[in-house]
Structure 1
């Protein structure tokens, strides 16, 4: 076929602050005529290359041809919702030849980046450190289905289409659930192929219940990104799920890349891997277990503009930081939200809720939140309570608060018709509308016939804040209630694919098909902002089921309606790791499985795995048996309790990792290839991960009592539960013990882990508990780590610098020290930390001698005991305060 694209009318805008290329792409049709498309290329935040393609004068082509109220331009506001703020353009140097424009840019003008933009045929080669990393349109699959009138489609005029385009169903849909789709503009898809050169593994594009390393789709369906309520989703599948993040990461030893496809419509991604080996100059077909030399991807979206961002860096961590600089990093969470959450559909009434909370306390099992599903609301009308079951919600909430526990309640985006709120949505014009733009759309969900709030409409925010304000029917004046936003794909029981008809209209007369994947984000962001408006001093917690790029800024997510089966336990870690790769680390899965009933072994192993999820909640279906931990028979109850206590013991470490992610976009659960990207042996591993320097391998198979564990480097690793068993040597280590009460967790030498080790009923009650520090020194006697501390609830860390960042280290096995390197010990909260002490220091592989050590803090010096126990040293009660520098001489 003829080559379709070339550039004309090339314009380069260049000054000290702005670098941008504007051009016209010519789409060559079958009859030799051309369609003009606008091409914009710019260098943006952290040297990412952004490529945008849109139709030119689309409104003029459409004028007089349709009567729909739909906005005539292509949807171009995805970035408005996905980006934290508008990116700044970065200047570049350029040179123009007869067939190619070259852009050079990078740190300190060393030109470590180069983009070669070929004019005919159109193609972009992206070089990083003089090596070709990414190629856009190598396969000539870039396409924008331009507007074609209904009349030309009815004539089946092939002159106005390309061979791979079709006039079939251009203005109607034969799919039985979508026959009502009006398709006012006909086909308007966008697509592009992007090759990753020299790469063998790619990751990301959640949400899919699949492996961490994405599979070749040559002989299967592509991965689909389309937010949908999927019942009992299959595992190892490319089916769409509740959320979509169109961001992919490629990793190889020399470099890492990212592809951010900025489009919120129904999207497919095909992946083809090319074999490394050649015979007679011909590539061998890809074979399982054989490395690959390149990965070809093909991105296709139903509509919108073509907007893609290409990132090239040294490591996947740098790619994550670059992506996070665009879309935002995870917010620092309210500390309770990192504790254990107990939920089911549904706790029956106030007595039931308080009985569950009391039972946790009686069995000395920590718990931070009790959750209420849809049946707490009167007739499933959100912002109401069943009066007989919850006569005084604030009394219940206050009782929970006595032990630091929170209440989390569900509010979905649909509202029963004939109810005050649905009436207000229609009266104020802030409901999603039918395709004619006149009336609110009415579909069916939990309350029956319902309408949906349009949170793309800025006017909806004011009303949403009214509903959440102090004294509201839902929250009253309580300070310990937080929110769960479910069903926000949106889920519509009588809609196509259990979702919204694609021709519904949102604010600005944009079709739902254009904004489908970001609707859930707009909804949970509206909730977050409303909670901040209600109480500006308290960090809200919002859980969402549906999400998009940027959702990490305001909420946590969970993987939806899983099943109490071993394969879903295994999949949960892969999915959480993928979410971490995709910049959304605050992720978890329903512990124990939502559907059906786990046996005791599966439940124990699920808790032992779930304690590592950044978001840790047990949740179950209304028809499942009660399975709160205190109801489980012994010895399984004790095993679950031990797992929960370990989660709370490691709370300081987990919170510190959230702080790092908040500042840099780093994963909280790190796949092994993030830790050692130079080691290809880590690229396929998705059943192990790092939490800082703890290497963890949960047990996710039935009747498994020993495992093989992969070490990504040659450093020594200590069993975190006894410190006497060690592993060393890159590669697999067999025969690691994993009885039902054991999980392989190993501490890497050269590191420090902070913990709190006293049982408390909730994370809130741990605020002023003392710390225990674990130092595992390397062969030179060195170890280091960080600790972050703030009040865990307010925005004082952000607004007033009311926090502490501590660097702690052992040097040459002879000196332990802690330095305040960030924040201030004089803040409203940090000034109260004089009494918070280090009560114990564990020194592993330090080989300290003597019976005592010298402690110095400020001008004071004193001696404390040093003892040896089971092959390691313990300093008991050094009595140093954490909010000031201190040192211990061994």
Structure 2
């Protein structure tokens, strides 16, 4: 739409088969974001457009037309930092910054868009002479309208509707993101193998180094090179595949004397393919990683500020048996002087898998049990699965049935899966996915949701909505006074607004401890800072050394919970001998001493979209040696953590980046030798943790029995000087549980500066402005 030579968005029409028009909109969003939308101009019915993930519909800015000729349009961004060249035939969009091509769309001509069609039976002639050919074509078309997976038949009520497009990232050969997979931090080429799949599935004991999608998905890919970080956010909730191909492209040399020579420039092609919906993609132009994190948060929201107790240690098992068991475990922590904040009950606490009820034999007085924990300043959390038992006498079921709330099957009947609440005896030795009755042990794609949308459209949003509803319900229950804590295993872009995520049913093996680090870093980079992995591994029985190493790693990660399967042996922290108990106790105490720093990092994640746990390259974007490091990470900008992930390790090789940086042993206050790759001796007692010179870290002077026991424990500051003998840091404090921090002066935010041998403490005016 043009007005006075200014373009608000660009409308282009493309022809596909049968002369179907596609409308393309290109717009700029404040903060170096561009949006591309492609939809049918006049579809037979509305195509699914993902709701609720964006915090609001972004306001577009005016793109200036700098050149217009037949089939080509040149546009400039508001600040003129970016130039867009749009070509009509073949359709292509190129984005440049300062004369350099950063990103191009449809460079390889892989744009496709299956338009909606009437059913095959409505399209064929009954003319006798053409009957044979018509029948053959009809059968071929029917094959596109239904697919078989084993014994399951998927009927596509509205026909095939997949979409896809390719993007080229110029000069980039390091790409990250698109969780969740048990894979490396650096995404791999897929040209010779399987594509990365984004399709939320409950895969019990998922394999390591597998591109299959597991519990959650965030369709955000990040690309990084020394002078720029860019991202592609593909807003589509149907099954999605991502192909990645990194290669070297030979370009003419810039030197006049070397015009005949060629220089190799990396290029990464990324192809997105989704089963349905529209093409709705946001191009996040950075140019820094922190700019990109803010851009994604501008679209999908920041990490919810968690209540302080949820950053303490959580003790969980499937399942603590009864009230006496809960009290005994709680007493065990006191007896062995180990801090903890939360004990969990898995699904066995219910009355025969009727969620929101209690087993009256095992938990005769749950209110009294919770009061017992409350007096000890601890919390109880229970687990709920996303399904309701079919039982007319179960109030939750009968009310939802009467109001028509349940998902329907393709025949209009209530969809019934097979899981814990329903017919469990059919699967006496099964592994535990959340819906047994499905092609891939999930809800069939042709099930029908509210507003007549098929499940294929919304599949990856299911867990997102459950966490949203739970968090909003808990806030309503407290009359808006209390911050909720809601942990989910299934997630999507924007889940960070509602709570925490864990990586699911991992296994008690060394490889799963090792892979948990890049998994958590990837989730963190895509907006979800509050994330963790089950300490010790959910499946199986960890050897004592592995359990100790996992506690040491988990103590320096955002969400810290021990959890285990019902078939695993009991593994409370004091069950592995005196020495191991002492080491685990010390690891958990370190976590509690670190809470002021950790809570401050979460405040920054909440207000400025800075990941709590971040890859080294985010803090050291020019240092190529950091780009593929995944066995160590930064906790905030001040701590470098290197978990020990090898059995019987006597030493680890640690990269301390930055030739101009100074690093200190966090516990011994000892300055390390020159940065680089150092061989650090290790014992079972601890893992290497280093403080970066130029930082101030706030700590508690001691650990308490839980976070509430620590209110009156004093603070201390760890000041690590840089090459100029200076350091800065911050401390954020509030009541730890309410929303009062949203109101002015209902929190304390201090900035610490050490300069010329003087330590000063001041109010950080920028942060007060941000909050107010």
Please say if 1:752 is aligned against 2:737: no
2:355 to 382, 388, 396: 382
1:772 to 716, 720, 724: 716
Hey, what's the Cα distance between the residues in 2 that align with 1:717 and 1:192? Answer: 45
Confirm or deny: 8 A CA contact 1:417 1:449 kept in the other structure.
no
**In 2 relative to 1, CA 292–244 (structure 1 residues): closer, same or farther, beyond 3 Å?**
farther
**1:449 positional shift:** 5.4
Please say if 1:99 is aligned against 2:88: no
**1:177 positional shift:** 4.3
Hey, what's the Cα distance between the residues in 2 that align with 1:803 and 1:590? Answer: 32
Please say if 1:820 is aligned against 2:769: no
Confirm or deny: 8 A CA contact 1:128 1:312 kept in the other structure.
no
| RMSD across aligned positions (CA) | 2.4
**In 2 relative to 1, CA 534–687 (structure 1 residues): closer, same or farther, beyond 3 Å?**
same
Partner of 1:703: 648
Hey, what's the Cα distance between the residues in 2 that align with 1:83 and 1:13? Answer: 28
Confirm or deny: 8 A CA contact 1:350 1:390 kept in the other structure.
yes
Partner of 1:873: none
The number of residue pairs the alignment matches comes to 737
Please identify, of 83-92 and 570-579, the stretch whose mean Cα deviation from structure 2 is larger.
83-92
**In 2 relative to 1, CA 151–137 (structure 1 residues): closer, same or farther, beyond 3 Å?**
same
* Equivalence map 1:412-427=2 (5 Å): 412-418=385-391, 419-427=394-402
**1:169 positional shift:** 2.6
**In 2 relative to 1, CA 790–133 (structure 1 residues): closer, same or farther, beyond 3 Å?**
same
For residues 639-679 of structure 1, the C-alpha deviation after alignment (integer angstroms, 9 at most, x for no partner) is 11111111111100100000111111111111001001111
Partner of 1:694: 639
For residues 697-744 of structure 1, the C-alpha deviation after alignment (integer angstroms, 9 at most, x for no partner) is 110111111011112202111111112251323x312x2111111211
Unaligned runs of 5+ in 1: 1-10, 60-71, 281-289, 451-488, 826-890
* Equivalence map 1:393-792=2 (5 Å): 393-418=366-391, 419-436=394-411, 438-448=412-422, 491-535=434-478, 536-692=480-636, 693-714=638-659, 715-729=661-675, 731-733=676-678, 735-792=679-736
Confirm or deny: 8 A CA contact 2:120 2:142 kept in the other structure.
no
Partner of 1:24: 13
Partner of 1:136: 105
Hey, what's the Cα distance between the residues in 2 that align with 1:741 and 1:160? Answer: 71
Hey, what's the Cα distance between the residues in 2 that align with 1:127 and 1:445? Answer: 52
Unaligned runs of 5+ in 2: 125-131, 254-262, 425-431
2:193 to 220, 227, 238: 220
2:52 to 81, 84, 109: 81
Q: Secondary structure at the match of 2:143?
A: coil
Partner of 1:460: none
Hey, what's the Cα distance between the residues in 1 that align with 2:766 and 2:271? Answer: 46
Moved over 4 A (4+): 13-16, 152-161, 276-280, 822-825
Partner of 1:54: 39
Hey, what's the Cα distance between the residues in 1 that align with 2:434 and 2:504? Answer: 13
Confirm or deny: 8 A CA contact 2:73 2:85 kept in the other structure.
yes
Hey, what's the Cα distance between the residues in 2 that align with 1:148 and 1:544? Answer: 38
Partner of 2:427: none
**1:821 positional shift:** 2.1
For residues 537-580 of structure 1, the C-alpha deviation after alignment (integer angstroms, 9 at most, x for no partner) is 11100000100000000010100000000000001111000011
Please identify, of 781-790 and 763-772, the stretch whose mean Cα deviation from structure 2 is larger.
763-772
Partner of 2:364: 391
Hey, what's the Cα distance between the residues in 2 that align with 1:325 and 1:499? Answer: 32
Q: Secondary structure at the match of 1:258?
A: strand
Confirm or deny: 8 A CA contact 1:170 1:186 kept in the other structure.
yes
Confirm or deny: 8 A CA contact 2:204 2:433 kept in the other structure.
no
Hey, what's the Cα distance between the residues in 2 that align with 1:759 and 1:170? Answer: 62
Partner of 2:282: 309
Q: Secondary structure at the match of 1:496?
A: coil
**In 2 relative to 1, CA 681–599 (structure 1 residues): closer, same or farther, beyond 3 Å?**
same
